[in-house]
Structure formats: C-alpha cells, structure tokens
Structure 1
Amino acid sequence: MKNNNNLLEVPNINSKDAKLKKLIYDVNDSLFSQDNYSKEHLEYLCVCSGGTTSSCAKNGFSTLDLRKNHSKINLDRESNLVTIGGGVIMGDLVNYLQKHNRSFPIGLSKLPGAGYILTGGVSPLSRAYGLAIDNIESIKGFLGNGTFISLKKNQINLEEQLIWEAIKGAAPFFSIITEIELKTIQSNPIKVVEGFVNLKELSEIIKLSEEFPENMSLQWIYAQKIYLYIFVELKSNLEDKRTEEYLMLLDKFPSLEKHFHENFNEINFFPKGLNLYELNSNNHSEVISLLGEDLKNDIPIFIECLNEIMDNKPNNSCYVASQQLGCKTKKLNHGSSFFVHRKSTWKPWIYASWKKDDLQEKEFALEWMYKSWSKLKRFYPNIHLAQLHNHLNFHEEEITLAFGNRMNELKTLKNIFDPQGILPPL
C-alpha cells in the first residue's frame, strides 16, 4: 500500500495524476468490506489491469493494481492454451507467445491489460479469429460480494451461464478477474499496406474494404492528416487469389506502401510523426468508442460528416479513428456474450484531449467529443464500452447503447453479486 501522496504509474495521464486514497495489490476478504467504500461520496474500488483507462484511478478512491501479483503467463504446449493473470499487459502476452510461434488478437496498442480482453477486444485479426472474448476458455476471480469463481467454457451449469456470458463484455461492473485462459493462434507473416491519404481516397478504400476477405482489415486515423493501415495476414507464402486481387486494387493509390512483417508482434501501428501514442504528460484525455454496420451507400455522407467534425476540433490533439470488424465477429458466439452488437462492421472512436490544468479547454474538448458522437450516431448507433465513463454526464446513455437488450440482466447481476456497490456503478 502506498501513501496518499504517491501516484499510480500508468500510461493514462488522467489516472497517473490522480491522488489515491490507497493502492492495493492483494485480493482478499478485507477488499470486499463495505466499510472500505462510502456510498455517500459515490466511492467504489477502481481496478487497474494495464492502466490505459481514465477509470483505473480517481482522486480519493482506492485502486486495486493487478499488475504486481497477477502478471504470470503460461502456455500449455499440448493444447496451445495460454493462462494469463488479470494484470498481464497485451504487449507482454504477444512477446511471450512469439517465442513459441503463437499469437493472440490484441489491439492496435500493446499497452492495455486484461481489461482489453474482458470488454470485448477488437483486433486487426478479429475478422479471422473473432473478438478477444471469443477466445476465452476459462476464468478465475471474485464477484463483487467476495465470492470466488472458477468457470470453464465447457463445464458451465445453468446457474453459472449468465455470469459466464456477462463476464465476456461486462466483467468490470460485478467482478474482479485474476486469471484468464485463452486460445492462441499460429503466428503468421503479415503484409501491411499503409500511408497518408486524402478524404477521396479514404472514401474509396472504405468502400473496397467492406468486401475484404477475413484475413484483411482496415484501420484509419484522422488527426491533422489521414493515415491508414490495411492489414493482411498471410497464412501461406503465397496469398490466396482473392487477397491478391485486393492488393492489386490498392496499387492505384500512389501514397500507399507495402511492408512485410514476420509476425503481428513486429508491427507498431500509427507513425510517431502523428504524435498520438507518445504520451504527453501535459495532456488529459477521454475516448468514446462506437459501433455500426457497413456504410455502403452512406460513405460519401459519412466522409462529409467526418470532415465537418475535424474542421471543428478544439485542438490538434483531438482525432477520430476507426477499426474494422466483421466476418468471424459477426458469426462467433452469437448471443453468448454481453458484446451484443454482433452485426457491427466498424468500431470508430473519438479521442478528446486538452491541457490538464485548462478547465476551459477541457470543457471545449468534451463538448466537441459529445457533438461529434451525436453527428456520427446515424452511421454508428451503438457503443463499444472499452472505457468506463461514469464520471461523465453521458454515462447512462453510453451504458444503455453498449448493452442493449441485456441491460436488465446486467443490472440483476450487479444487484446480486455487487450489492454494496464496491465495483464501478451502472
């Protein structure tokens, strides 16, 4: 336990700057004592698995940091299942697996912890292998009332079924997961087609991408300029005919370059020149992630809307980006998780940033984020709850759009298994 003056060393600057009530490393009975949390002051326990979210630490709140005592990784070479602690960083996971020529569908950043997996987990590999939650084989941890749970995919009884489904997408609201067993995948070579494009080119490539085979996916970011990645997994030395046809169609875009990588782990998404992932210790930020289906004939209107949003951004640290889902994510485990928007093709996110001591700029940035979200709802009506925003005024709307027709079930689980409100609120 650290004293009040010490800060939590995490990638998210908001959380890093928080003045903690206390820092906890052990999950034990005292953790779940209602005396530790005050409903009068809306206090609950923050949980840190990787530390990339603004909700892993708050002023005057306690944080459970899983990274110290729950960071083991072990691969079973017979089954190729990997067991990880709840505090394992995704970069450490893929580094470990690469030694055994295996991989896992992590996201664009290697910094998140197991929270990335438990809230869904969208990867450039997801179209071929599903979301991260689709690859969960078993979990261990504690419910908010202190009850230990150990669930295995093929050994779930009727009483456990709803808990198992909710853990895949909504775990942070009613449980603390300390161990996860995951399927791994063969590590294959990757071809990346990348570069800066203009709005017209982005429009053409989005249209093209909605017909991509499952081993191809599009990621783009619109900051001061537009940069995109087309990700291609090569399952043999020669691309299949359909993949080759799409790669040839991309040759018409002169600014795009093709790069070959021995494996997924070699890729660092988004160039340093964009100044996005070089963490700026002077800035605080928030991000909201949306979900929607194919744009199809709405692509021109979407591009127009996107350009309008970027023309109105309050500073150069704000941006809009997007990842592509589809194929396997639309087919796998339908109805058996709390990631309910299985028809989604796109996961865009809006990133708002401001100088951390400038309250006026913060207000402008968050207002821009909310207005941008309102404009994009016609294309992306749903939410991917990769971050918790119960400290922001649109939290209730966001939660409802994230869990849809399973919201009442989640409320029931919360009432039963976290009756004292020890974990983040709905």
Structure 2
Amino acid sequence: MKKNKNLLEIPNINSKDAKLKKLIYEVDDSLFNKEYYSKEKFEHLCVCSGGTTSSCAKNGFTTLDLRKNHSKIHIDRESNLVTIGGGVIMGDLVNHLQKHNRSFPIGLSKLPGAGYILTGGVSPLSRAYGLAIDNIESIKGFLGNGKFISLKKNQINPEEQLIWEAIKGAAPFFSIITEIELKTIQSNPIMVIEGFVNLNELSEIIQLSEEFPENISLQWIYAQKIYIYVVAELKNNLEDKRTEECLMPLYKFPALEKELHENFNKINFFPKELNLYELNSNNHSEVISLLGEDLKNDIPIFIKCLNELMDNKPNDSCYIASQQLGCKTKKLNHGSSFFIHRKSTWKPWIYASWKKNDLQEKEVALDWIYKSWSKLKRFYPNIHLAQLHNHLNSHEEELNLAFGNRVNELKTLKNIFDPQGILPPL
C-alpha cells in the first residue's frame, strides 16, 4: 500500500486513481452503522477482493480491502477441498494448489480475486469442470445488514436456499464474502495451440470449435491483430487420441504453434510481449461482457460485423475478445444459481480504453462500446455481470440481461438484507 491512504494499489487503473474517502480492512459492526452511511447521499461501500474492477474504489467512497486480512489458503488433503479468504488472488490460489498437484478453473488472468468466483467465473477449463460458482462447497461472510452467514452446500435449509443461489452470481449486491470452500481438480498436462490468425481463419476455427469435446476450448482476442488460444486438457491415452483428432485440423494454419504445458497453472494467456493490450497507467477503461449460444450458420455474418466494429474502434487500446463455454456449464446446477444463461456457448467482451482525464475521448470510447454491444446483441443477447456498472447508464439494462426473471428476487434480497444500501446499488 502507498503511504497516501487515499490511494489503493490495484490492477484496475480507474479504481487505483480514485481519491478514496476511507480505506478499511476490517469487517466489523461499524460497517453496518446507519449513521456512518447516511452522511453522504447515495454512498455505498466498495469492496476490493483482487482489484481488477472499476467498481472496487471510487472518488469520495469508502473501500473495504479484503486482501490484507482475508488472504489465507488451506487445502484439505483428504477431501481436496480448498478454503480461501475473500481477498485471495486467483494466481496465488493456483500457485498454492500446484504444490499439491491440484488446480482450479481460473480465468485468463491470474489477477482477479474472489469476485471472479462469485460473479460466475468463466475459465478455459469450464467446459469440463463448470463455472467457478459450480465448484463452491460453502461460504462464510456477512449480509449487508451485518448478519453473519455460514452456508454449506448440502446443509441448506429452505430459508437459506435463495441466499445460497444468489451468492452464486450476484453476491456483491447484498453480501460481503470473507471465506469460500471450493472443489479442486486434478492437475493434468495442457496442450495449447496459439498464434495469430486472419479473419477467414478465425471464422473456420470458430466453426471447428463448436464441435469440440468438453476438454477443449477456444479463446480469441481481436486487438490490432487476431490472436487465438486453443486449450486442451490431456487425461489418458484414449481421450488424448480423440483430442489429437480434434486438434488435427488446426495444424494446417501456418502461424499456429503447439506447446505442451505441465499443467494449467503454468499458462500465461496473452503475454505482454504480444503487444495485444497492456495495463497502461495513463489510461482508464471499461469492459462489458456478453453471453450467447452457438453461432452456427451465423459465423460469416458475425465475422463481417466484428470486422466493421474493429474498423471503427476509436484507438488501438480497444479490442473485442471471447471465451468458450458449453458442455458442463450447460448441465451443472441448472436453476440453482443466479448465472441463469446456462445455454451459453460464448462469452465475448468489449473493452474500451482512453487517456484518463480526457472526457471527450472517454465519451467516444464509451460510445464505441455501446454501439458495438448494440450490433453484437443479435449474436449475444445476454450479459455476464463480471463488472459492476452502477456508474454507467447501461447498469439497469445489464442487470435485466444478466439476471432475467431473477432480478426481482435479487431486489427482494437487497431490500431485506441490505436495507441501508451499504453495498453496490441495483
């Protein structure tokens, strides 16, 4: 931490630059004091678990930083369940698990904290192991009214059922989670096929990927150029032979390279030397994540649309990318979480960046995000609310597209368990 208490050392530049009202590390009774939170209209508590979101710190707001006092990791070697604090960074989690030959389906970045898990958690391994929320066994924490909660998957009573389901996908709106128990997975070798491709090749690879088995997934990013990752988990000789057959058509693309990694924890996605995107300390940014089903016959139309959007991007820091879901994410825990879009195969996201303090460039960049989102809705009609955008005009629409017919249930939980509006607003 910097000596200046008003600054927070975190990856997200927007939040890092925020002039905080106060930075706190303890979850105690003072957090839930009505007088404390009524001093300034519309103030709510920002919560930092890893610090990758623009909602974890804001000008004039208080931030609770969980990283200092809630960063323990403990694995039970009999059950292979791991217990983590709400401030544990995903990179630290997989590094700890690696010592025990275990892993967890984290995302493309190792920087997020437990917020990655609680808002869904999409991983290159999700097709085989489900979303991160599908691997939650128990949680501990506090509701927005200060009530302590401790819920275990197989011991949920009827009064707790809705809270349990909402924790998985919508936790930040009505709770502060300080501890999570998770299933871990066996650490297996991973084959990665990666490299630059052109639009026609991307089109063909997307078509191939929609027939992939659950142990293979596609990730791509279109910045100044297009870069892809095909991730394949290797388990046993029979499966590995089928995997090799599925990967064979990719070997004809001249720029793609194949590399075997000891395990998933060893992979660094989109490394900086590719110059695809970097955390530029002079830039602020926003990102909107979408969800949709197989593209199938719409792939050519999608590729044309994608190219038009990228031709009109306001600067080189803007990009569109995508991760592949499906298989287990479509089958696991249907109806028992607030991640309701279980039919989804693709999670694309639109990223826009601008020079901080340049309000005109910010307006242009956000306009590009919204126009891009509008054009991509025909392919990806839903939202994955991995980032909270209550500071943007799109917040209400994002809520409705993320939670659908469960929005009213979420509002009810908010009214009951966060009556003072201490946590981020709906």
User: Normalising TM by the smaller chain, what interval?
Assistant: over 0.9
Alpha-carbon distance between aligned partners in 1 of 2:295 and 2:422, rounded to the nearest angstrom: 41
Secondary structure of the equivalent of 1:240?
A: helix
Q: Does 1:66 align with 2:66?
A: yes
| Residue deviations 1:129-179 (CA, integer Å, cap 9, x gap) | 000000000000000000000000000000000000000000000000000
In the alignment, is residue 221 of structure 1 matched against residue 221 of structure 2? yes
Quote the Cα distance in structure 2 between the aligned partners of 1:56 and 1:6: 13
Q: Distance in 2 between matches of 1:113 and 1:237?
A: 35
TM-score (norm 1): 0.98
1:45-87 residue CA offsets vs partner (Å, 9 max, x unmatched): 0000000000000000000000000000000000000000000
Percent of aligned pairs sharing the same letter? 88
Q: How far off its partner does 1:40 sit?
A: 5.7
Letter in 2 for 1:81: L
Distance 1:3 1:196 in 2: 43
- Equivalent residue for 1:232? 232
Provide, for residues 167-226 of structure 1, a one-character-per-residue CA deviation record: whole Å limited to 9, x for no partner: 000000000000000000000000000000000000000000000000000000000000
| Alpha carbons 2:6, 2:21 under 8 Å: kept | no
Quote the residue 2:296 is aligned against: 296
In 2, Cα distance between the equivalents of 1:16 and 1:259? 36
Q: What residue number does 2:76 align with?
A: 76
Q: Which amino acid aligns with 2:213?
A: P
Report if the CA contact (8 A) 2:2-2:8 is conserved. Answer: no
- Counterpart of 2:271 in structure 1 is 271
Deviations 1:335-365 (A, max 9, x none): 0000000000000000000000211110000
**Aligned-residue offset at 1:277:** 5.4
Q: 1:9 to 1:66 in 2, by over 3 A?
A: same
The Cα RMSD (Å) is 1.4
Match in the other structure for 2:98 = 98
Aligned pair 1:354/2:357, yes or no?
no
Cα offset, 1:244, TM superposition? 1.5
Instruction: Give the corresponding residue for 1:34.
Output: 34
What are the equivalent positions in structure 2 for 1:156-171 lying under 5 Å apart?
156-171=156-171
User: Moved runs in structure 1, 4+ residues, more than 6 A?
Assistant: 1-4
Counterpart CA distance in 2 for 1:333 and 1:397 is 25
Deviation at 1:247, TM superposition (A): 1.3
User: 1:261, 1:3 → 2: CA distance?
Assistant: 40
Shift of 1:238: 6.5
CA contact (8 A) 1:5 1:19 kept: no
Name the SS for the 1:423 alignment partner.
coil
* Conserved? CA contact 1:46–1:64, under 8 Å: yes
The corresponding residue for 1:113 is 113
Pairs within 5 Å for 1:161-310: 161-236=161-236, 239-276=239-276, 278-310=278-310
The letter for the 2-side match of 1:191 is M
AA paired with 1:51? G
Per the alignment, do residues 276 and 16 of structure 1 end up closer, same or farther by CA in structure 2, a change over 3 Å counting? Answer: farther
The equivalent residue for 1:389 is 389
Alignment partner, residue 313 of structure 1? 313
Deviation at 1:234, TM superposition (A): 0.4
Cα distance in structure 2, aligned partners of 1:39 and 1:287: 31
Deviation at 1:6, TM superposition (A): 3.0
| Aligned mates of 2:170, 2:209 — CA distance in 1 | 30
The separation in 2 between residues aligned to 1:120 and 1:162, in whole angstroms, is 16
Indicate how the Cα distance of structure 1 residues 38 and 371 shifts in structure 2: closer, same or farther if over 3 A, else same. farther
CA contact (8 A) 1:223 1:274 kept: no
Other-structure match for 1:409: 409
TM-score w.r.t. the length of structure 2 is 0.98
Q: How far off is 1:271 after superposition?
A: 3.2
How far residue 5 of structure 1 moved from its aligned partner, in angstroms, is 5.6
- On the 8 A contact 2:5/2:23 being kept in 1, the answer is no
TM-aligned CA deviation for residue 276 of structure 1 = 4.7
* 2:182 partner letter: L
How many residues of Structure 1 are paired with residues of Structure 2 in the alignment? 426
What is the Cα deviation at residue 3 of structure 1? 8.6
Gaps of 5+ in 2: none
State the alpha-carbon separation in 2 of the partners of residues 36 and 385 from structure 1: 29
5+ residue gaps, structure 1, are none
